[in-house]
Amino acid sequence: MSDEQDIILSELSDEELTLQMHDDLYDGMKEEIEESVNILLSRGWMPYDVLTKALVEGMRIVGIDFRDGILFVPEVLLAANAMKGGMAILKPLLAETGAPRLGNMVIGTVKGDIHDIGKNLVTMMMEGAGFEVKDLGINNPVENYLDELENGEYDILGMSALLTTTMPYMKVVIDTMVEKGMREDYVVLVGGAPLNEEFGKAIGADAYCRDAAVAVETAKEYMAKKHNQLGA
């Protein structure tokens, strides 16, 4: 029997358990991740802390070894699956704030890109903060965003891209909005690991959001401005 099998998760200290979760995420062990998430919650951890300190940090480590050629797509897919298992437990808790409805958002990962963990996290956090979010999923051509915006009542468009090859597609969406005379009707927020503030400005977005918490704060600021303008 390996050391790994001997570990009783509930007997680890918070710090040991968090490190163990980084390992379990790395190894794609979904059931262990789910058990550990539940243990931390039962110890009084805030859902947001479980998310950032255990899951997101674990995925950051996976990302480094993926980049360095130590991990490959099949292993990273398992890690992503384990992460999603943990996120599914946290989702209702993050959404349970009872906050009043602040605004409506459409979000999706751009065409050519199938990464969705970051986008899902943004969706969860936005919902938790009181936004209504329509998630268009992954690999979205410009038509998907525009059809949804035109057929609903939205305040914010959010786009996610994780690849340097897909991030320019955000500009295609924004340029099409400009052509159709609808750009000014929405706040456009963009995010994803390879982006930065400069890129956000260059493509004509209203703001680049470094992470899900920044996305929530930025969306709140823009909604407050909008309400102030309407009230003026």
Binding site for ligand B1M (CB under 6 A): 56, 59, 62-63, 66-67, 73, 76-77, 80, 107, 112-119, 121-122, 158, 160, 162-164, 189-194, 209, 211-212, 215
The upper half-sphere exposure of residue 46, i.e. CA atoms within 13 Å in the direction of its Cβ, equals 5
What distances in angstroms separate CA 154 from CA 105, 129, 130, 149, one per listed residue? Answer: 6, 16, 14, 6
Output the smallest distance, CB 66 to ligand B1M, in A: 4
Residue 232 beta carbon to ligand B1M: minimum distance, rounded to whole angstroms: 27
Nearest to 204 by CA among 191, 192, 190: 190
For ligand B1M, the closer of residues 39 and 110 by Cβ is: 110
Nearest distance in Å: CB 162, ligand B1M: 4
Sign of CA dihedral 112, 118, 124, 130: negative
Beta carbon of residue 206, minimum distance to ligand B1M (angstroms, whole number): 10
Element (H, E) at 189: strand 187-191
Tokens read off for 131:
């936004």
95 or 215, CB closer to ligand B1M? 215
Query: Between 39 and 83, whose beta carbon lies closer to ligand B1M?
Result: 83
Q: Residue 175 or residue 211: which is nearer to ligand B1M going by CB?
A: 211
